[in-house]
Amino acid sequence: MLSSQSGAPGSQEFAVIARGVEKSFGALKVLQGVDLTVGYGKVACILGPSGSGKSTFLRCMNHLERIDKGFLHVGGKLVGYREHAGKLYEMRPNEVARQRADIGMVFQSFNLFPHMTVLQNIIEAPIGVKKLSKAEAIEDARRLLAKVGLTDKADAYPRTLSGGQQQRVAIARALAMRPKLMLFDEPTSALDPELVGEVLTVMRDLAAEGMTMIVVTHELGFAREVGDMVVFMDGGVVVEQGSPSELFTNTKTGRAKAFLSKVL
């Protein structure tokens, strides 16, 4: 149980508020007090060296990892915990699942179900978790497939698709749950360079529609163009954050400068 400090001022006004988030795996302290605030409809791009805790932080937001200290609000609600009489209690698995349904996550490896067609991949959770009727789920799925440019692939199996197509299906599948927040963990890192653009285009459209997004990425062009804020993580903390021009052009910290000089 965490000590109760959930009453973040203004927790309703922001899509995501992280304060002092700490997480260890055994003796390894991976998150050392992450602070981050992301407004509704904003896109935050997270950069940082390998091992800095970016994926772990995203996984905490979805309560795939339990945090050790600090607090994490998504959509005005504490992630994974319920407050009762000034104390915090971990949610039961069914409550966690309900909360997680509002957060879409897209990984580097697309994680589609190989034995299901594209359409089946997309309708599975809306029917199973959101209790949509099959007809409604299929209608939604076809609309989402059109949105990601894959109308003609509804009946294809994932193995017959290119990596870029599979990742666009994975995005459609996440959107089918009608999430309020989308988390992307290096969504284009596994793709051949010529397939990166089609996935970034889908993400750019999503941002333009007002989706709140947190994107771990090495695509600095995307971060500069689409990001409302860019966040540089190193050693389990947010070292520097700001608008893309602040972070890329007026980099303040030596650590961010050193990182950017290597990747730019």
Ligand X SMILES: Nc1ncnc2c1ncn2[C@@H]1O[C@H](COP(=O)(O)OP(=O)(O)OP(=O)(O)O)[C@@H](O)[C@H]1O
Choosing among Mg ion, ligand X, none, which partner's interface includes residue 94 (Cβ < 5 to 8 Å by kind)?
Answer: none
Choosing among ligand X, Mg ion, none, which partner's interface includes residue 56 (Cβ < 5 to 8 Å by kind)?
Answer: ligand X
The Cβ of residue 146 has, within 10 Å, a number of other Cβ atoms equal to 11
As measured in angstroms, the least distance from the Cβ of 185 to Mg ion is 6
Q: Among residues 11, 37, 55, 212, which is the contact residue for Mg ion, using CB under 5 A?
A: 55
Q: Among residues 54, 63, 100, 173, which is the contact residue for ligand X, using CB under 6 A?
A: 54
62 scored as a contact of Mg ion (CB under 5 A): no
Which of residues 154 and 239 has its CB atom nearest to Mg ion in the complex?
Answer: 239
As measured in angstroms, the least distance from the Cβ of 154 to Mg ion is 31
As measured in angstroms, the least distance from the Cβ of 22 to ligand X is 13
Question: How far is the C-alpha of 41 from the C-alpha of 207, rounded, in Å?
Answer: 8
Question: How far is the C-alpha of 74 from the C-alpha of 217, rounded, in Å?
Answer: 21
Give the tokens for residue 8.
């973040």
Phi-psi region for residue 76, left (φ > 0), alpha (ψ -120 to 50) or beta?
left
103 burial type by CB count under 10 A (0-12 exposed, 13-18 middle, 19+ buried): buried
Which of residues 37 and 55 has its CB atom nearest to Mg ion in the complex?
Answer: 55
H/E element holding 69?
A: strand 69-74
Side chain identity at residue 38, one-letter code: V
30 scored as a contact of ligand X (CB under 6 A): yes
Binding site for Mg ion (CB under 5 A): 54-55
Binding site for ligand X (CB under 6 A): 25, 28, 30, 48, 50-56
